[in-house]
Structure 1
Amino acid sequence: MGKSLKLLCKDSAACVADPGQTRFDLLTRGALSASSCLLPSDGSCHSDSMAAARAEAKEHENSHNNCLIQLANPHVAAMKEDILYHFNLSTSTCDFPAMFGDVKFVCVGGSPSRMKKFIRYIAGELGLDHPGEEYPNICVGTDRFAMYKVGPVLSVSHGMGVPSIAIMLHELIKLLYHAKCSNVSVIRIGTSGGIGLEPGSVVITRQAVDACFKPEFEQIVLGKRVVRNTDMDEQLVQELMQCSADLKEFTTVVGNTICSLDFYEGQGRLDGAICFYTEKDKQAYLQAAQAAGIRNIEMESSVFASMCRTCGLRAAVVCVTYLDRLKGDQITSPHEVLAEYEQRPQRLVSHFIKKSLGKV
């Protein structure tokens, strides 16, 4: 695949708006400084240095830290105004660098209420929470998505399924571009059905695969089939796995994830309104998936991996498993148990954020 996006770095600083001119003046302001470098779409900085491997790795890290996001779309730069319709935000009415320029971590999940809970949680973990603190929905005026921010962390809901998260990601990536953000990690935190894992286990996705176990995302663009890669950022995967080892709180595995287009037939469930296969058929499919290194099933990871990779963003998917699909289809655990399971990816990602910021 061609290098469809480049991250271009140059000396810059985030513009800071007059707080009286924006309804979001409560958001944290920040300035960005950067030095020149060029990043290919896999997020790695090119270096001509022949220094030792350790020095080169350090240079890679420093370069990545200072690279600004550029879009894989030349048309946006020519637009006088960019309306992020589903966020109810516009470049003509909002100062994106002032509002979002300090963002380094974007956490996304299906449910608006879950993402609001997460922003409250991470605020406390980072010492940014205060008694009576409110975290208003930045996307006020629309019920499509919800967005919350504290410090360098943005928390965004994406709804359910590939079409919904794809819409959100287009506008999120443009938001980060207009805000002149650098060194951003995007992590989906969610729930899933496990394959051969005890309920409550956490899966960090290495590759998102389709229902035929192929590591690709297929989309029809202008009547033509376009296939893109669905690898996650391997370094980020390993960093998250190390964070789980630091915590030692729950079972965490790295594996591949099926991204299904459906909750019922697409995932081999026997309890939907339509089903023309048997329990034996289902078991054969899930066992084949397990043998192929697949550890869970959800509904967003392929387009998430594809779009983030195409746009040079470090990306990871961290999902807890609610049940072992080899043993059943319906989620029967008590609500309080599921609520604790739901917090596990949040605790893992929170530890990663704190560790990245030197707060551990």
Structure 2
Amino acid sequence: MDPKDDKRNASRCSSPVCVHNPHLDALKDDILYHFSLGTGTHNLSAMFGDVKFVCVGGSPWRMKSFIEYIAAELSMEDPKADYPNICAGTDRYAMYKIGPVLSVSHGMGIPSIAIMLHELIKLLHHAQCTDVTIIRIGTSGGIGLEPGTVVVTKQSVDPTFLPKFEQVILGKTVVRSTDLDQSLAEELLQCSKELNQFETVIGKTMCTLDFYEGQARLDGAFCSYSEQDKRDYLNKAYEAGVCNIEMESSVFAAMCKLSGLRAAVVCVTLLDRLKGDQLNSSHEVLRDYQQRPQILVGTYIKKQLKAKAARS
């Protein structure tokens, strides 16, 4: 191994999860309301201190399915295990854990994932976790790709194809970077090559505020543009290097970068938006597609844990 790799790995292992809020120090107890957890009611270090990998996705069902898959991959599977929802005290999000892997749902859209990430980042910080890698897994609409292609995001862009996330804070627009960890993206791509089960590419992901008009669909309740307008817009996105469209990557990239988390977005494309707006694939085909991100990320986690064990 290159000595530089050893140095990078050592630096990564000593890297804490950062919060940038001096007001937290004044709190007697930090209540993570939407998780139904808190520093005064739970021993977060004991519960989560060993977490090294966090996977997040929109659906609670999908994230439970992911933790069951990971348990089997890591040979931690108990046929009688129910994998209880750690956040059972709330109906906002679901959270599951097996060994060093945490699986959390985030709902749909930027506001929902942003709320979850605020509390997740604080949870990891309070638990004194280090060397944490976080990966969003999900589905998306592809642009110029065969359905079922997995896209590893190198950069999230807004609907004008610019790599930025804008948020209004105290009446002022704050712009944050949406770059993701390039070395992690390359490692995931290499894992896919070794798997050789499905096509995987690295590219830009467009993050929108809406599923219908915001993504140039023609099948919403409202539509003020023509089919040609839609086609022209999506072709511009394609020319700008956009591979897929979803609704969470920009704030995910921005918040993970601020907190020092090594982050990636891995989404499968369910259709090619240049050819249509609605899903017409069978349930079985869609289920196969939706399993691809978890297969790739599961392989990556297993590979990393094996490499760590070999170094020990």
TM-score tier after normalising by the smaller chain length: over 0.9
Deviations 1:181-206 (A, max 9, x none): 00000100000000000000000000
Query: 2 CA distance for matches of 1:168 and 1:188?
Result: 12
- Which of 71, 83, 103 in structure 1 is aligned with 2:31? 83
2:92 partner SS: coil
Could you say what the CA RMSD is over the residues aligned between the two structures, in angstroms? 1.2
How many Å separate the matches in 2 of 1:285 and 1:67? 41
CA offset at residue 256 of structure 1? 0.2
Q: Distance in 2 between matches of 1:240 and 1:78?
A: 40
* 4+ residue segments displaced more than 6 Å: none
Q: How far off is 1:56 after superposition?
A: 3.2
- Whole-Å separation in 2 of the counterparts to 1:84 and 1:271: 38
Q: Who is 1:48 aligned against?
A: none
CA shift for structure 1 position 78: 2.2
Map of 2:249 onto structure 1: 301
Q: Distance in 1 between matches of 2:67 and 2:138?
A: 14
How far has the Cα of 1:76 moved from its partner? 1.1
Give yes or no for contact 2:143–2:273 (8 Å, CA) kept in 1. yes
Structure-2 separation of matches of 1:346 and 1:56: 30
Query: Shift of the alpha carbon at 1:66?
Result: 2.2
TM-score (norm 1): 0.84
The 3-state SS of whatever aligns with 1:227 is: strand
Letter matched to residue 348 of structure 1: L
The answer (yes or no) to whether the contact 2:60–2:93 under 8 Å persists in 1 is yes
SS at match of 2:306: coil
How many percent identity over aligned positions?
A: 64
Equivalent position SS for 1:156 = strand
User: Please, which of 146, 153, 156 is the counterpart of residue 208 of structure 1?
Assistant: 156
State the partner residue of 2:276.
Answer: 328
Aligned to 1:187, which of 111, 128, 135?
Answer: 135
Aligned pair partner of 2:171 in 220, 223, 226: 223
- Residue 41 of structure 1 is matched in structure 2 by none
5 Å matches for 1:75-224?
A: 75-224=23-172
SS at 1:75 equivalent:
helix
Say which structure is richer in helix: 2
Is the contact made by 2:147 and 2:269 (CA closer than 8 Å) also made in structure 1?
Answer: yes
- 1:62: Cα distance to partner? 1.1
Paired residue for 1:34?
none
CA-to-aligned-CA distance 1:278-328 (integer Å, 9 cap, x gap): 111111111111111100000000000000001110010000000000000
Give the aligned partner of residue 231 of structure 2.
Answer: 283
Which consecutive unaligned segments of at least 5 residues does structure 1 have?
Answer: 1-52
Letter in 2 for 1:72: H
Instruction: Tell me what 1:242 maps to.
Output: 190
Cα deviation 1:225-257 (Å, max 9, x = unaligned): 100000011111111011101100001000000
Letter of the aligned partner of 1:334 in structure 2? S
Match of residue 270 from structure 1: 218
CA distance in 1, matches of 2:56, 2:85: 14
Query: What is the Cα deviation at residue 214 of structure 1?
Result: 0.5
Distance in 1 between the 2:66 and 2:2 partners? 36
- Count the aligned residue pairs: 308
Q: Report matched runs for 1:56-75 at 5 Å.
A: 56-75=4-23
Deviations 1:43-90 (A, max 9, x none): xxxxxxxxxx94233212112112222311111122110000000001
53-62 or 186-195, larger mean C-alpha shift? 53-62
Give the letter for the 1:92 counterpart: G
Task: Tell me the distance in 1 between the aligned counterparts of 2:214 and 2:18.
Answer: 35
CA–CA separation in structure 1 for the residues paired with 2:110 and 2:50:
28
Residue type of the alignment partner of 1:213: F
Distance apart, 1:332 and its partner CA: 0.7
What is the Cα deviation at residue 138 of structure 1?
0.3
TM-score, with structure 2 as normaliser: 0.97
For residue 260 of structure 2, give the secondary structure of its aligned residue in structure 1: coil
Q: 1:292 aligns with which of 236, 240, 249?
A: 240
